[in-house]
Chains A and B, each alone.
Chain A
Amino acid sequence: MSLSRRDFLAGMAAAGAAGLTASEAHAYSKTFSKSAMTYFAGVASDNGHNYRITNWKKIKAKWQRQLVKYKSIEPIGSVVVDAQNHFLYVVFENQTALRYGVGVGRDGFRWYGRARIDRKALWPRWVPPPEMRVRQPDLPESVEGGIDNPLGPRALYLYRKGIDLGYRLHGTMEPWSIGNNVSSGCIRMFPEDVIDLYQRCPIGTRVLVLKTLGAPVIDERAPVDGEPPA
């Protein structure tokens, strides 16, 4: 997750403004450039907060949620991420899967391996890890859930053998970042998609992050490949 100073200020403003009305939320969205605003199609309400609706006309078809053929031995219900191709799959019956477009870690921040969803949150508070704040001293200690929280409306927390990996599947307020290598290791999704995924993944859901489909699965006892979360 990388935040500019502008985003940080917007986030701080949102943190102090729980329960925004739609028109107030529009006022905050002025922090985005005019071209960025074309990625939004209004504001939707969800569990006491608002998120900016994705303007799907601006989004390539390949990044939109869709049913695809999927050949794999992963059990039904598993989540599989193809980091290189920026796809996340939920495995369905009959060798099909529901596919979503995602954003993944930038160079030096990608990771691979098995994990499990041990915790889920609605409108999560964002607490940048200390390493991230060292790199970006402008970041706040935390941002409450809301329209300008970079985690978006949901987060699914990834664990391995009871240990929090520090990585999450979460939403984004930057729909243009889907399909790119942008984060500090988290898997980011359109807000509509992470709301959808949250419904489909009970606590205990398997997650497998691969460099590409068909790449060898890194032994789950091995340390995470790549840089630590930051």
Chain B
Amino acid sequence: MTGKRSWQHAAALTLLLLLAGCNTSKNAADSGSSLTAADNVTNAPVAGGVNVAPGSEEDFMVSVGRRTFFKQSSAELDDVARATLDKQAQWLNQYPQWKVKLQGSADDPGSPQAQTALSQKRADAVRNYLSSQGIESGRMLAKGYGRERIGEDCPEIECKSQNRRVITNLQEAPEF
């Protein structure tokens, strides 16, 4: 192999690795399969780091935020929730290629049925608010999961506060 060809080979490989790096957030949890060793250390930039592509899923995570939080046993949008959803709506209006699955969760007092109902009410509240801000209904699916998809599970507020939420999950080709 000539020096030039090996350089081309290296450049192609680097490009491949860079492309792989762009996809890290879409990997299943912690598979890490497409990560190189250099990518796989704390503080390594993900999706371009500070140069995140506008309109990408990572841009939404960095510039806007996917989570809307709720108080105990409530599906009411408070000022903080509305401020979050205003930013989401602005971004979604700017990037109409995205659809969203609004995934409600509950970690509140009550029966499993009550939790599922509450999580659905939370997801519906988010859908209705985004709709009022100009997002077409056809771009959104609101689904309540009760405690099925909660994060850390403990009796303390540290866990519960994180689980009383709706995640706005961007989808390019959703099933709905």
Cβ of B50 and Cβ of A64 under 8 Å apart? yes
**Do B151 and A68 touch across chains, with their CB atoms under 8 A apart?**
no
Choose one: A76, A87, A96, A205; the contact of B46 (CB below 8 Å). A96
Q: How far is the CA of A115 from the CA of B65 in the complex (A)?
A: 23
In the assembled complex, A70 has its CB within 8 A of some CB on chain B: yes
Which A residues, 62 to 92, have Cβ-Cβ distances below 8 Å to chain B? 64-72, 75-77, 87, 92
A-B pairs with CB below 8 Å: how many? 95
B contact residues vs A (CB 8 Å cutoff): 24-25, 27, 29-30, 32, 39-47, 49-50, 52, 58, 61-62, 65, 67, 69, 80, 83-84, 87, 151-152, 156-162, 164-165
| A to B CB contacts below 8 Å, 30 in the list | A61-B49, A61-B50, A64-B50, A67-B45, A67-B49, A68-B44, A68-B45, A68-B49, A69-B39, A69-B43, A69-B45, A70-B42, A71-B41, A77-B151, A77-B162, A92-B61, A96-B25, A98-B62, A99-B43, A196-B65, A199-B65, A199-B83, A199-B87, A200-B65, A202-B69, A202-B161, A202-B162, A203-B161, A204-B161, A206-B158
- Which residues does chain A contribute within 8 Å of B160, judged by CB atoms? 204
Assembly CA distance A75 to B84 (angstroms):
22
> How far apart sit A75 and B152, CA to CA, in the bound complex (Å)?
7
Residues of A within 8 A of B (CB): 61, 64-72, 75-77, 87, 92-96, 98-99, 116, 196, 198-200, 202-206, 213
A117: min CB distance to chain B, Å: 9
User: Which residues on the B side are within 8 Å of A213 (C-beta)?
Assistant: 42
